């Protein structure tokens, strides 16, 4: 009989660090920033215990760059940050996407713009995550709502990063980052852990880091004898910069297509009473906790309310949303910003009434506020 | 050079009511420096304890114009302020006419040694007329005591925890004062708030110079050093008496040690005062302590060797 699973009361940031370790993360580079600092603090203690490496870098840019370096050396690599740090990391995030370097970026969202409200929650980095770095950049972002889910979604983020050779964001906010809930630690092997695909090229000189035979070519770790070129410039299969317009076009399309073609694998959503929902709430992260309560209350009042809670916010879950909203008269989008994902919902559902509910005062959206909007449409 | 009485009777430009911790080294540093400026001062502060602790709405401890921009750019912000002032003055567009205004940028060790280093270096090289003050409390105290490149070897922080295998931070601290000296600026001073006379003298000199100047001031932190708040100044004094934090200045390229302790105290005297080093005295860490001492001895000897000499 398998041993009892360990149950532990832990903070969201701690669940994130534990999830990273479960996923096989052996490398962390970052810079202290509220409200994500505990992730680095915990890993500064725990990574050396397993022979891993924690480095505190001189700034946010260094934190992202070293994470890329750690990944190219073959280790599952992580960094954690918050708003201003996300802004500083953007160039390197684009580099990781362009050079197809798997890595995970935790963003414990706080109020912005600028220094904003470091100790208060926010969901205002949704668009910065998608569009923050220049160019057409592939983005995967997951959005847990509960502390145990931070654990599992961090594991999933590593899986997606390794599988699709791309940076993956875990977005949560100060509320769940600092909230404490019980997490049941799964046994090893209980959750799927995807490791980086190994190349089967026998002659190491023949290895191509961007081999066009694959949708996602295997990435050989530095130091194993595969010598190749990594650059942020548009590059050919061998990694060297190219000025060939056909190759530039193909390369730019390829990094987007690998995400677009695999959306169904990347998407994850929770649906609550969506089958007959006339009033659909689309909510993620901490706002979804309030939304979940509000929808249950509305059902008690006889309102046909439902909740679609995306755990993947990028690529945007347009098809699951269309399906969940098939009977909806209205879609309510509560989010801690002044209107970001609501734009995607409008784009996805032309002709459907969409109403945003927004707060940017550093306080969470309450169930009562959501219920008030639901009530308007009963 | 003002007497203590004169200094005390000057207007407080950094006033009470702020929310910095009891025993924090920053307020006496700011008060002494601002009283020594000799002209109105415009200030920028990078993200950190000082910024957060002195400006919580609706209060401000600053009786000066003051701007906080971000963590990494006090050197760049002060460059913009000074350059605009100089241009407006040249064109005769300043409402205050030719009245002299001084510029001061302030950062902690995180905002100066680490993330703000590039901006500082650029501002020094371009030669803007400003004083940069670093209050060095040896870690990111505002975000909860994470190590910085100013953290002393052996110190336990939340990102260099003391465990049974790794006893705190393993690296020597960055010698930022020396790096700034290498920029060839006209005045650089390293000081401590326990010695008000030294600090006031250095601030006066720094503000009097036309061009960039730099003051690196040790700032005791009861929270991060794990000391009682009433021993802050004593801790700073012992830092100087052990030669962990030598008081010196480099003026027009000439190095001068401002204080040579009669008896150089062993570094244990300073380490034992602070909880951040307490693990060094549990179990055998004589090798590490010897290594810490070795670094201090080497730096001190180097300073003695160049004392009184033109170094660039």
Q: Which residues of chain B lie closer than 8 angstroms to A54, CB-CB? A: 159
Q: What is the CATH number of domain A1-266?
A: 3.40.50.970
Chain B nearest-CA distance from A40, in A, is: 7
Between CA B9 and CA B27 the distance in angstroms is: 17
The answer to whether B73 contacts chain A (CB < 8 Å) is no
User: In this structure, what token pair is assigned to residue B271?
Assistant: 């380490």
How far does B307 lie from chain A, in Å, by closest CA?
A: 32
A308 CA to chain B: closest CA distance, Å?
36
How does B103-138 read in b/e, with b if 16+ C-beta sit within 10 Å? bbbbbbbbbbbbbbbbbbeebbeebbbbbbbbbbbb
From the list A35, A230, A24, the residue with the least C-alpha distance to A120 is A35
Q: How confident is the model at residue B1 (pLDDT cuts 50, 70, 90)?
A: confident
- Which residue in B has a C-alpha nearest to residue A119's C-alpha? B143
Question: pLDDT digits over B208-256, tens only?
Answer: 999 999 999 999 999 999 999 999 999 999 999 999 999 999 999 999 9
CB contact under 8 A, B159 and A59: no
Mean pLDDT, chain A, whole residue set: 97
d(CA A291, CA B7): 60
The first and second tokens of residue B72, run together, are: 């990494």
CA distance A305 to A300: 10
State whether B72 and A88 contact (CB < 8 Å): yes
Whether chain A has a CB inside 8 Å of the CB on B47: the answer is: yes
Q: Is B44 on the interface with A (CB under 8 A)?
A: no
SS3 for B94? coil
Cα–Cα distances (Å) from A345 to A235, B111, B153, B238, in that order, read: 35, 41, 53, 63
Residue B131 has pLDDT above 60, yes or no: yes
Other Cβ atoms within 10 Å of B269 Cβ, number:
13
- What is this structure's pTM? 0.94
Peptide bond into A35 cis (omega under 30): yes
Chain A positions in Cβ-Cβ contact with residue B72 (cut-off 8 Å): 59, 88
Q: Given an 8 Å threshold on Cβ–Cβ distance, is B146 in contact with A84?
A: no
* Cα(A119)–Cα(A363) distance, integer angstroms: 11
In a mutational test of the A interface, the residue from B44, B115, B145 whose CB has the highest number of chain A CBs within 10 Å is B115
Question: Same CATH fold, A269-375 and A1-266?
Answer: yes
Q: Which residues pair with A108 in a beta bridge?
A: A172
Sketch the domain layout of chain A as residue ranges. Answer: 1-266, 269-375
Contact B121/A at CB under 8 A: no
Candidates A58, A82, A120, A178: best to mutate against B (most CBs of B within 10 A) is A58
Provide the CA A179 distance to its chain's centre, in angstroms: 19
**Chain A residue numbers touching B146 (CB-CB < 8 A):** 32, 37, 40-41, 56
Identify which of A32, A45, A88 has the shortest CB distance to residue B161.
A45
The minimal CB distance from A59 to the residues B68, B115, B158 is found for: B115
Among B72, B173, B188, B62, which residue's Cα sits nearest to residue B124? B188
Q: For A216-269, write each residue's pLDDT tens digit.
A: 999 999 999 999 999 999 999 999 999 999 999 999 999 999 999 999 999 999
Cβ–Cβ below 8 Å for B70 and A58:
no
Distance from CA of A5 to the nearest CA of B (A): 27
Q: Do A84 and B71 touch (CB under 8 A)?
A: yes
| Reported ipTM | 0.91
Cβ-based contacts of B143 with chain A (< 8 Å): 32-34, 37
The DSSP 8-state label assigned to residue B305 in this structure reads H
Report the residue from B114, B146, B147 with minimal CB separation from A59: B114
Q: Tell the CATH topology of A269-375.
A: Rossmann fold (3.40.50)
Structural contact between residues B255 and B47, judged by C-beta atoms closer than 8 angstroms: no
Q: Average pLDDT per run of 10 along chain A, which is 378 residues long?
A: 87 98 98 97 97 98 98 97 98 98 98 93 97 97 98 98 98 96 97 96 95 96 92 97 98 98 98 97 98 98 98 98 98 98 98 97 97 95
Burial classification of residue B179, based on how many CB atoms lie within 10 Å of its CB (0-12 exposed, 13-18 middle, 19 or more buried): middle
Nearest CA in chain A to B112: A58
* Residue-level pLDDT at A1: 55
Q: Do B143 and A34 touch (CB under 8 A)?
A: yes
Q: What is the pLDDT of residue A2?
A: 67
What CATH number does domain B9-306 carry, 3.40.50.970, 3.40.50.720, 3.40.190.80, 2.30.29.30?
A: 3.40.50.970
Give the confidence band of B307 by pLDDT, cuts at 50, 70, 90.
very high
Q: Which residue of B has its CA nearest to A41?
A: B159
Residue B57: pLDDT above 60? yes
What rounded mean pLDDT belongs to chain B?
Answer: 96
Q: Are B210 and B86 in contact (CB under 8 A)?
A: no
Rounded Cα distance between A94 and B93, Å, is: 44
Residue B298, Cβ density class (10 Å: 0-12 exposed, 13-18 middle, ≥19 buried): exposed
Length of chain A: 378
Chain A contact present for B165, CB below 8 A: yes
**Chain A residue with the nearest C-alpha to that of B117:** A58
Q: Chain A within 8 Å of B147 (Cβ-Cβ)?
A: yes
Please check whether residue B134 is in contact with residue B108, taking contact to mean a CB–CB distance below 8 angstroms. Answer: yes
Contact B264, B238 (CB under 8 A): no
pLDDT at A225: 92
CB contact under 8 A, B143 and A31: no
B163-189 pLDDT tens trace: 999 999 999 999 999 999 999 999 999
Query: Residue A356 and residue A65: Cα distance in Å, rounded?
Result: 37
């Amino acid at each position: 009989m398998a041993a009892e699973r360990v149950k532990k009361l832990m903070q969201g940031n701690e669940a994130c660090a534990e999830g990273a370790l479960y996923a096989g993360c052996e490398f962390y580079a970052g810079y202290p920033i509220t409200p994500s600092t505990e992730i680095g603090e915990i890993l500064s203690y725990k990574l050396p215990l397993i022979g891993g490496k924690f480095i505190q870098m001189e700034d946010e840019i260094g934190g992202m760059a070293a994470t890329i370096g750690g990944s190219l050396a073959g280790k599952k690599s992580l960094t954690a940050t918050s708003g201003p740090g996300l802004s500083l990391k953007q160039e390197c995030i684009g580099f990781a996407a362009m050079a197809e370097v798997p890595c995970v970026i935790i963003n414990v969202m706080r109020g912005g713009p600028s220094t904003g409200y470091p100790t208060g929650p926010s969901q205002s980095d949704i668009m910065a995550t998608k569009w923050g770095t220049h160019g057409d950049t592939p983005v995967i972002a997951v959005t847990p709502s509960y502390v145990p889910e931070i654990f599992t979604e961090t594991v999933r983020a590593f899986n997606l990063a390794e599988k699709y050779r791309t940076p993956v964001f875990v977005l949560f906010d100060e509320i769940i980052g600092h909230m404490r809930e019980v997490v049941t630690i799964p046994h090893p092997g209980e959750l799927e852990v995807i490791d980086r695909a190994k190349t089967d090229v026998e002659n190491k000189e023949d290895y191509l880091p961007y081999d066009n035979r694959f949708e996602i070519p295997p990435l050989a770790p530095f130091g194993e004898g595969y010598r190749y070129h990594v650059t942020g410039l548009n590059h050919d299969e061998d990694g060297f910069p190219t000025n060939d317009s056909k190759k530039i076009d193909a390369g730019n399309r390829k990094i987007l297509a690998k995400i677009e073609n695999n959306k169904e694998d990347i998407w994850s959503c929770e649906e609550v009473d969506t089958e007959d929902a006339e009033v659909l709430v689309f909510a993620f992260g901490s706002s979804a906790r309030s939304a979940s309560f509000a929808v249950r209350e509305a059902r008690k009042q006889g309102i046909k309310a439902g909740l679609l809670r995306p755990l993947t916010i990028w690529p945007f879950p347009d098809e699951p949303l269309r399906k969940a909203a098939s009977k909806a008269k209205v879609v309510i989008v509560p989010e801690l910003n002044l209107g970001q994902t609501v734009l995607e919902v409008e784009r996805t559902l032309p002709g459907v009434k969409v109403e945003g509910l927004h707060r940017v005062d550093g306080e969470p959206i309450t169930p009562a506020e959501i219920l008030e909007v639901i009530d308007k449409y009963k | 050079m003002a007497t203590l009485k004169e200094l005390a009777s000057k207007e407080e430009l950094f006033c009470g009511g702020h929310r910095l911790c009891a025993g924090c080294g920053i307020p006496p540093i700011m008060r002494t420096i601002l009283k020594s400026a000799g002209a109105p001062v415009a200030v920028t502060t990078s993200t950190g304890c000082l910024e957060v602790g002195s400006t919580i709405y609706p209060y401000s401890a600053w009786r000066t114009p003051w701007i906080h921009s971000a963590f990494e750019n006090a050197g760049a912000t002060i460059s913009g302020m000074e350059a605009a002032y100089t241009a407006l003055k040249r064109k005769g567009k300043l409402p205050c006419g030719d009245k002299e205004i001084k510029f001061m940028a302030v950062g902690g060790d995180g905002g100066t040694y680490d993330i703000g280093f590039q901006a500082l270096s650029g501002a020094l090289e371009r030669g803007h007329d400003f004083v940069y003050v670093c209050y060095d409390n040896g870690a990111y105290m505002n975000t909860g005591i994470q190590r910085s490149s100013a953290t002393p070897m052996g110190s336990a922080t939340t990102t260099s925890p003391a465990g049974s295998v790794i006893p705190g931070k393993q690296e020597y601290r960055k010698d930022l004062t020396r790096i700034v000296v290498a920029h060839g600026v006209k005045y650089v001073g390293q000081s401590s708030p326990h010695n008000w006379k030294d600090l006031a003298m250095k601030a006066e000199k720094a503000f009097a110079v036309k061009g960039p100047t730099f003051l690196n001031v040790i700032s005791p932190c009861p929270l991060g050093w794990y000391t009682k708040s009433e021993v802050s100044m004593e801790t700073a004094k012992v830092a100087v008496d052990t030669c962990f934090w030598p008081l010196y200045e480099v003026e027009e390229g000439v190095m001068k040690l401002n204080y040579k302790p009669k008896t150089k105290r062993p570094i244990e005297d300073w380490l034992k005062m602070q909880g951040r080093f307490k693990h060094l005295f549990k179990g055998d860490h004589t090798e590490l302590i010897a290594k810490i001492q070795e670094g201090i001895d080497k730096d001190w000897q180097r300073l003695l060797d160049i004392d009184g000499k033109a170094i660039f």
